Amino acid sequence: MWEFIVGHLNYWLFCVLMMTGLYIVVARGNLVKKIVGLNIFQTAVFMLYISMGKIAGGTAPIFPTDMNVDPNVVYSNPLPHVLILTAIVVGIATTSLGLALVVRIREEYDTIEEEDILHIERDIVTAENQSHGGAMGGRA
């Protein structure tokens, strides 16, 4: 049993990180904390893909300069690493866009707490409905 747990440690860490990120996104009302939770979740997915690309006993997929490749050499799969490199760049862009949106929301609503923003929006909609209802009632 102990060998199974230690042998699959990267998958256990993946599960812990993913559930932590998901909990932060769902349980927190602060928009910056939600972005941090998404980044933790994203890091867990990166770790999963990178760990799947590693082959036990495999070496880096770099061919020798003389191009005499030994058929007995086992190479690790480079594709997951390349995909994760692209995903990291996309993640940085997404995070920066999310933080820029948080700044704009803060400028507009003077808060970054989700519950406060919903109350402000509800008050705005209620005020608009009352003003339109009063104007329409006066014409009839």
CATH class of segment(s) 2-55+75-111: mainly alpha
Alpha-carbon separation of residue 127 from 60, 76, 118, 137 (angstroms): 64, 62, 14, 15
pLDDT of residue 140 exceeding 50 = no
| Helix spans in 1-140 (H) | 2-7, 9-27, 31-53, 79-109, 114-139
pLDDT of residue 135 exceeding 70 = no
| 70-97 mean pLDDT | 89
Predicted structure pTM score:
0.77
pLDDT tens, 32-45? Answer: 999 999 999 999 99
